[in-house]
Amino acid sequence: MSAYSKTNVGHENRTELHDALSLTGAEISINNLPAGAGVPFVHAHKENEEIYGVISGKGKVVLDGETIPLEEGDWIRIAPEAKRQFSASSDSSFTFVCIQVKADSLSSYTASDAVIF
C-alpha cells in the first residue's frame, strides 16, 4: 500500500475527499456556492466539530440564529451541537473547505507527533 493518496479537485459544487484520498481520521470537503446560493439545509453533528476555511469570495454562516459574515482568509471552528447553514453573498461566489473531525480527539500535535529523520 502506498504511503500517500492524491486527487484533483475540479469545480464541482461539493467534493468530499474521504473516498478519493482514503481518509481515516477526518472528513474534508471543498464547497463552491455561486453568488446568492446557499446550502439548502440547517445541520448539526452528534460528535464531530467542523473547521471551515474560506478559500475565495464572501458569504455568511447562520450559527444558532446568529449571522456571521465570512470572507476570503477567514477560518471558523464550530462545535458539534451548533446549528449551522452557509450561503454566498448576493454579489459573490463562495468557496470554502470544511474539515470534520471528532471533537476532543486530538491527542498530539505536529511537534509532539513528528519523527525527525
Here the cell at position 54 is 474560506
pLDDT at position 116? 83
pLDDT at position 1? 57
pLDDT at position 2? 81
Has this prediction a pTM greater than 0.85?
yes
Angle at 58 between CA 57 and CA 62, to 5 degrees: 145
pLDDT at position 60? 98
CB 44 within 8 A of CB 80: yes
Instruction: Chunk the chain into consecutive blocks of 10 residues (it has 117) and report each block's average pLDDT, rounded to whole numbers.
Output: 84 85 92 95 96 98 98 98 98 96 88 85
- Judged on CB neighbours under 10 Å (0-12, 13-18, 19+), 94 is buried
